[in-house]
């Protein structure tokens, strides 16, 4: 089971087990991670599961695709090159150890 | 496992006047409950309403026995699932792209909001429902949909006719006859405008759908513009009246927000406090359970987001307006594949533009006799009047 670490904007961190095939957003909701709202439930219709991928994971996770990048313009917190919608990151063995930073707000 | 317990005590009139006491009681004692007055199994807890909407395979949006199809002369995207729904939703989606919101609809709304505020008389009592909230919501929607020739009154009449027809569970004649008249006018305008947009394409919803590379059927273009008319006026209208009421009756919060500029939080709190769309429905596609209650295949459940938004598991003193909640995971825009397409538009129009503008123009606006404000609605809910003095 890949492990996934969420680091909140205040610096507190939580590491949880992810099911392969689940999105990072689903993993966050399953473990009650504050800081992921995921209003649309993964339909890519909102921007409330916004995360910043840790630098050392950027290559393996890859950048946002076009539609996702458009939707990220709605994000409530600062969007950077490391920004992704966590509903679009699918957990695999290769992502074991992934670190995602949570923005200070999603709405 | 048992079936949902039956409640035959609550009446539809009670639910329309104020459903919140009933919801509080149900959340505490009987959160999954079959309610005779609406002939549906109500879900009143936040975790349940959310789980249902996030699982479209178990919970179909196609509720076959509603008057909606009769009222709309079609099955709209609201009642479709999967690929079929997505294709129709995506057809309209480009209109609501972040770029269009920022470069077209935001500036358009800002101009209109300024114009409508200019018309309001200062120093005397004015009801903001018919003078601002209703017509402004109608105007911007007409312009975004590509029906700018429709007057504010036309739009509001059509919208109400569609709503009344879709909610005509008594299957009376009058609402259907009224909506049939509205269809004649809407269809004529849309046909005329479609022809125009084929030659003069722009980013309005009608134009984008007509000029798509692989357009959806004309019958569905028309039906989905109508769902936007039916759903796109009362929500921003009721949200605006609700947030103004919340702020004007909580002057300490209003003062703090004037200082910090957290208008977006006030907007979110208003739609949590009194969700403009209070309930939705979903049909079980297989036998399933919720909280140990059997839900046989074919059961239509009503997800009561109005109740979820006051759920004690998530909100302290949910019955109070508090724009400074640390967390506000309300469900007023729904969730899952049918998540409200107007979410970002609404946040921008009301939270970013209207609220700062109206309190900048009228910093000493006061609510006149708050006790005369009438709240009504079970499916949709908001104030029916908002008498203020603008200063």
Predicted confidence (pLDDT) per residue in A77-104, tens digit: 999 999 999 999 999 999 999 999 999 9
- What residues of B are in contact with residue A37 (Cβ under 8 Å)? 329
Please tell me which of the candidates B54, B97, B264 has its beta carbon nearest to residue A41.
B54
Distance between CA A46 and CA B91 in Å, rounded?
Answer: 17
Identify the closest residue of chain A to B53 by CA–CA distance: A41
- What residues of B are in contact with residue A42 (Cβ under 8 Å)? 54, 336
Q: What is the DSSP letter of A23?
A: B
Q: What is the DSSP letter of B40?
A: E
Go through A18-39 and write b for each residue having 16 or more CB atoms within 10 A of its CB, e for each that does not: beeebbbbbbbbeeebebbbbb
Measured CA to CA in angstroms, residue A39 lies from A8, B49, B155 at distances of 19, 13, 29
Distance between CA B375 and CA B384 in Å, rounded?
Answer: 6
Burial class (CB in 10 A: 0-12, 13-18, 19+), B288: middle
Identify the closest residue of chain B to A37 by CA–CA distance: B329
Length of chain B: 391
**A82: phi then psi, degrees, rounded to nearest 5:** -90, 0
- What residues of A are in contact with residue B264 (Cβ under 8 Å)? 76, 107
- What residues of B are in contact with residue A76 (Cβ under 8 Å)? 264
Task: Provide ipTM, 2 decimals.
Answer: 0.74
Burial class (CB in 10 A: 0-12, 13-18, 19+), B200: exposed
Q: Which residues are CB-contacts of B158 (< 8 A; sequence separation ≥ 6)?
A: B150, B182, B185, B186, B226, B229, B230
- Angle, alpha carbons B150-B204-B357 (nearest 5°): 75
Note the pLDDT of residue B327: 87
- Beta strands, E only, chain B: 6-7, 32-35, 40-43, 59-60, 125-127, 279-284, 288-290, 293-295, 300-304, 366-367, 375-376, 382-383, 387-389
* Å between B59 CA and nearest CA of chain A: 14
A74 and chain B: CB distance < 8 Å anywhere?
A: yes
- Identify whether the C-beta of residue A92 lies closer than 8 Å to the C-beta of residue A26: no
Q: How far is C-alpha B102 from the geometric centre of its chain's CA atoms? A: 22
Q: How many CB pairs under 8 A join A and B?
A: 44
When pLDDT is averaged across residues A5-24 and rounded to a whole number, the result is: 95
- Identify whether the C-beta of residue B374 lies closer than 8 Å to the C-beta of residue B384: yes
- Beta strands, E only, A10-103: 13-17, 50-53, 83-85, 98-101
- What residues of B are in contact with residue A38 (Cβ under 8 Å)? 335
Q: Do A46 and B328 touch (CB under 8 A)?
A: no
A4, two tokens? 């996934």
A73 and chain B: CB distance < 8 Å anywhere?
A: yes
Q: Which of B314, B336, B350 to mutate to test the interface with A (most CBs of A within 10 A)?
A: B336
Q: Which residue has the tokens 């006030």?
A: B266
Distance between CA B340 and CA B338 in Å, rounded?
Answer: 6
- What residues of B are in contact with residue A39 (Cβ under 8 Å)? 333, 335, 339, 343
Contacts 24+ apart (CB under 8 A), B350-354: B350/B236, B350/B239, B350/B240, B350/B243, B350/B267, B351/B263, B351/B264, B351/B266, B351/B267, B351/B268, B352/B106, B352/B263, B352/B264, B353/B106, B353/B109, B353/B110, B353/B113, B354/B109, B354/B113, B354/B240
- What residues of B are in contact with residue A70 (Cβ under 8 Å)? 97-99
Distance between CA A35 and CA A9 in Å, rounded?
Answer: 9
Measured CA to CA in angstroms, residue B180 lies from B42, B141, B145 at distances of 31, 21, 21
Q: Do B344 and A37 touch (CB under 8 A)?
A: no
Q: Which residue has the tokens 């074991």?
A: A96
Note the pLDDT of residue B75: 86
Identify the closest residue of chain B to A47 by CA–CA distance: B344
B133 and chain A: CB distance < 8 Å anywhere?
A: no
Segment holding B345, helix H or strand E: helix B343-346
Measured CA to CA in angstroms, residue B374 lies from B24, B272, B370 at distances of 21, 19, 9
- Identify whether the C-beta of residue B349 lies closer than 8 Å to the C-beta of residue B107: no
Segment holding A6, helix H or strand E: strand A3-7
When pLDDT is averaged across residues A19-40 and rounded to a whole number, the result is: 93
- What residues of B are in contact with residue A46 (Cβ under 8 Å)? 333, 339, 343-344
Whether A43 shows a pLDDT value over 90: the answer reads no
**Considering only CA atoms, which of B126, B13, B153 is closest in space to residue B385?**
B126
Average pLDDT, chain A: 93
Confidence of residue A40 (pLDDT cuts 50, 70, 90): confident
A69 and chain B: CB distance < 8 Å anywhere?
A: no
- Identify whether the C-beta of residue B7 lies closer than 8 Å to the C-beta of residue B34: yes
C-beta neighbour count of B363 within 10 angstroms: 11
- 3-state SS assignment for residue B65: coil
Out of A35-44, A56-65, B284-293, B323-332, which region has the weakest mean confidence (pLDDT)? A35-44
Note the pLDDT of residue B130: 98
Please tell me which of the candidates B98, B268, B336 has its beta carbon nearest to residue A41.
B336
- What residues of A are in contact with residue B97 (Cβ under 8 Å)? 70
B336 and chain A: CB distance < 8 Å anywhere?
A: yes
Q: Do B333 and A42 touch (CB under 8 A)?
A: no
When pLDDT is averaged across residues A3-21 and rounded to a whole number, the result is: 96
Identify the closest residue of chain A to B93 by CA–CA distance: A45
Identify the closest residue of chain B to A73 by CA–CA distance: B98
Distance between CA A61 and CA B98 in Å, rounded?
Answer: 24
Q: Do B264 and A73 touch (CB under 8 A)?
A: no
Per-position pLDDT tens, chain B of length 391: 899 999 999 999 999 999 999 999 999 999 999 999 999 999 999 999 999 999 999 999 998 778 899 999 988 999 999 989 989 998 998 899 888 998 999 999 999 999 999 999 999 999 999 999 999 999 999 999 999 999 999 999 999 999 999 988 888 999 999 999 999 999 999 999 999 999 999 999 999 999 999 999 999 999 999 999 999 999 999 999 999 999 999 999 999 999 999 999 999 999 999 999 999 999 999 999 999 999 999 999 999 999 999 999 999 999 999 999 988 999 999 998 899 999 999 999 999 999 999 999 999 999 999 999 999 999 999 999 999 999 8
Note the pLDDT of residue B243: 98
Sign of the alpha-carbon torsion through B10, B14, B19, B22: negative
B97 and chain A: CB distance < 8 Å anywhere?
A: yes
Note the pLDDT of residue B98: 83
Q: Do A73 and B329 touch (CB under 8 A)?
A: no
């Amino acid at each position: 089971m890949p492990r996934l670490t969420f680091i909140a904007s205040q610096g507190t961190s939580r590491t949880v087990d992810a099911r392969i095939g689940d999105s990072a957003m689903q993993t966050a909701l399953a473990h009650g991670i504050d800081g992921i709202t995921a209003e649309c439930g993964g339909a890519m219709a909102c921007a409330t599961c916004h995360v910043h991928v840790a630098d050392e994971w950027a290559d393996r996770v890859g950048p946002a695709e076009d539609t996702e990048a458009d939707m990220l313009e709605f994000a409530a917190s600062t969007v950077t090159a490391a920004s992704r919608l966590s509903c679009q990151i699918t957990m695999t063995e290769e992502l074991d150890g992934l670190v995602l930073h949570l923005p200070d707000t999603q709405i | 496992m048992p079936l949902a317990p039956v409640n035959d005590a609550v009446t539809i009139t009670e639910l329309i006047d104020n459903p919140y006491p009933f919801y509080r009681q149900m959340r505490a004692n009987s959160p999954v409950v079959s309610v005779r007055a609406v002939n549906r199994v109500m879900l009143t807890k936040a975790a349940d309403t959310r789980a249902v909407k996030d699982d479209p395979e178990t919970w179909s949006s196609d509720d076959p026995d509603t008057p909606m199809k009769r009222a709309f002369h079609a099955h709209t995207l609201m009642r479709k699932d999967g690929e079929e729904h997505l294709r129709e939703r995506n057809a309209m989606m480009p209109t609501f792209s972040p770029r269009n919101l920022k470069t077209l609809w935001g500036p358009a709304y800002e101009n209109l909001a300024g114009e409508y505020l200019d018309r309001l008389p200062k120093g005397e009592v004015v009801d903001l429902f018919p003078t601002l909230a209703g017509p402004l919501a109608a105007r911007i929607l007409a312009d975004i949909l590509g029906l700018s020739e429709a007057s504010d009154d036309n739009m509001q009449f059509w919208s109400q006719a569609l709503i009344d027809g879709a909610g005509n569970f008594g299957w009376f004649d009058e609402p259907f006859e009224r909506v049939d008249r509205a269809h004649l006018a809407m269809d004529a305008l849309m046909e005329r405008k479609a022809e125009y947009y084929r030659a003069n394409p722009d980013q309005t919803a009608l134009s984008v759908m007509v000029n798509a590379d692989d357009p959806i059927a004309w019958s569905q273009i028309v039906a989905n513009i109508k769902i936007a008319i039916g759903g796109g006026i009362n929500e921003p209208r009721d949200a605006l009246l609700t947030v103004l009421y919340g702020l004007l009756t909580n002057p300490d919060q209003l003062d703090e927000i004037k200082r910090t500029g957290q208008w977006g939080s006030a907007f979110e709190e208003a739609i949590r406090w009194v969700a403009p769309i209070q309930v939705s429905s979903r049909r079980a596609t297989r036998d399933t359970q919720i909280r140990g209650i059997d839900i046989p295949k074919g059961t239509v459940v009503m997800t009561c987001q109005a109740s979820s938004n006051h759920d004690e598991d998530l909100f302290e003193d949910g019955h109070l307006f508090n724009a400074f909640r640390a967390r506000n995971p309300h469900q007023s825009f729904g969730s899952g594949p049918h998540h409200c397409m107007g979410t970002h538009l609404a946040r921008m129009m009301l939270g970013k533009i209207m609220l700062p503008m109206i309190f900048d123009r009228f910093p000493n606006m006061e609510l006149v006799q708050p006790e005369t404000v009438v709240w009504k609605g079970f499916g949709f809910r908001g104030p029916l009047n908002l008498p203020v003095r603008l200063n």
